[in-house]
Amino acid sequence: MRVKICGITQAQQGQAIAALGATALGFICVERSPRYVDAQHIQQIIQTLPTTVDRIGVFANASLTDIEGVLGIAQLTGIQLHGDEPPEFCAQVKQLFPHLEIIKAFRVNTVESLSPISEYVEMIDTLLLDAYHPQQLGGTGKTLNWDMLDKFRPAQPWFLAGGLTADNILQALDSLTPDGIDLSSGVERSPGDKDIPKVTQLLNNLSKIN
């Protein structure tokens, strides 16, 4: 299972989390986010990481020019679109960056929230399901209603996100079978400041089901 820890802001913490066994690290490229890091800072962190770790830039309603600007500096391996990007925009991103993984996030608050996913099948590589919040795009600590996903069987691999912690991860995975999990606030002391003992506990708990 893929384990993505999102909202990395410090090189030392990124190194420690990668060493613990996380398979992907996420960098927030949304300026209004408290976890925002600019492209130069992202690249400085990336240079300290093993090449085996996926490096995902998280964008929300960014322009193609903005995305290109970040990728011209930071050696990312994937692009996560976490806003209200339509399928056509995702197709443009995929065409521009065919060598990168394209992840599309969906904020879910009802079963009906899952309906638009089918429109994105050809435009993306991976899905990410996050909890809906009316003011914030992610990193809220709000938990998804996992019961809504009991019949969710998408065509693409998918990440489960939304309020996951070391304490509830086994419960979440008891009935759901995502291809990966994505955590941010659930392994933090404060936004962007990761709590390494919490990451350690998370991975220890995951080892019980592998």
Q: Which of 29, 54, 90, 130 is catalytic?
A: 130
For residues 14 and 203, give the distance between their C-alpha atoms in angstroms, rounded to a whole number. Answer: 15
Q: Which of 6, 29, 54, 182 is catalytic?
A: 6
27 Cβ contact list (under 8 Å, min separation 6): 7, 8, 37, 42, 45, 55, 56, 57, 58, 74, 76
Q: H or E element: which one contains 141?
A: none
Is there a catalytic annotation at residue 38?
A: no
Extract the tokens encoding 10.
């410090």
CA trace torsion 150, 154, 156, 157 (10° rounding):
0
Residue 1, class by beta-carbon neighbours within 10 Å (0-12 exposed, 13-18 middle, 19+ buried)?
A: middle
Extract the tokens encoding 125.
């590589």
For residues 182 and 3, give the distance between their C-alpha atoms in angstroms, rounded to a whole number. Answer: 6
User: 12 with 40: CB under 8 angstroms?
Assistant: no
Is there a catalytic annotation at residue 90?
A: no
Tell me the Cα Rg of the chain: 16
Q: Which residues are catalytic?
A: 6, 130
